[in-house]
Amino acid sequence: MTATRSRWLLRRPGQDGTAPRLYCFPHSGGSAGEYLRWSARLPSAEVWGVQSPGRGGRLAEPAPTTMEALVGALTAEADFGPAPYAFFGHSLGALAAYETALALRAQGRPGPRALFLSAYGAPHLHRPGPPVHTLDGPGLIAAVEAEYGPLPAELHTDPELAGLVLGGLRADLSIVASYRPSPAPPLDCAVTVYGGSRDREDAVRLAAWEDYTTGPFTLRVFAGDHFYFRENPDDLLTHLDRALAERV
């Protein structure tokens, strides 16, 4: 992976820069690497990952704990483009992608031609939930596993590893707990929303994103849970590649 112009944006080497860019915003506790693996599967786009402080190569940096801090630092330091480009965000990343698009518009900068938002309901339906980010390490692991399923077994047996991994996750869950949507007119870009059929972020919550754009809107639900694309990545990546070719 290489970084260009900003610590926030990563890509895999070997891309020639001719395809439109897809910037991917990770889920809580996630990092850019999971989405950069899609590079070979999305010929319609050049895949870039948004790498926040507190994870990956930025592990030693303090992680943002509010959406305002995250989006403010990202838009101040990262140069998205060249246009046209698109955003993909999964779970918390969906909210971060949307808020980043709003911030770019407010700054008079070119925004994404399309938003691809995954596994999170529309902002006005946001459920902050209990402040699990305040729990100690074992308590935080238990709370996350109760909500999203098992974490790597090493987190239960290696306190040093758990301390490193949980720092970014704790900061992200603080963002979830404190997030309140920004009052704003709808965007005008295309919005495509994805979800899993067994996820608590159901089709009704996902469909509510339609009110956040005056552009084309598409909803697609795949078989699976909150991380439906880990079970069968082909379904999402086939649809995403086709949508990128049409929208960007």
The set of catalytic residues is: 91
Calpha distance 154→17 (Å, rounded): 38
Task: Return the biggest CA–CA distance within the chain.
Answer: 49
Distances (CA, A) of 77 to 20, 53, 80, 107: 20, 12, 10, 13
Calpha distance 134→130 (Å, rounded): 9
Q: Per DSSP, which regions of the chain are E strands?
A: 2-3, 9-11, 21-25, 46-50, 85-90, 114-118, 190-196, 217-222
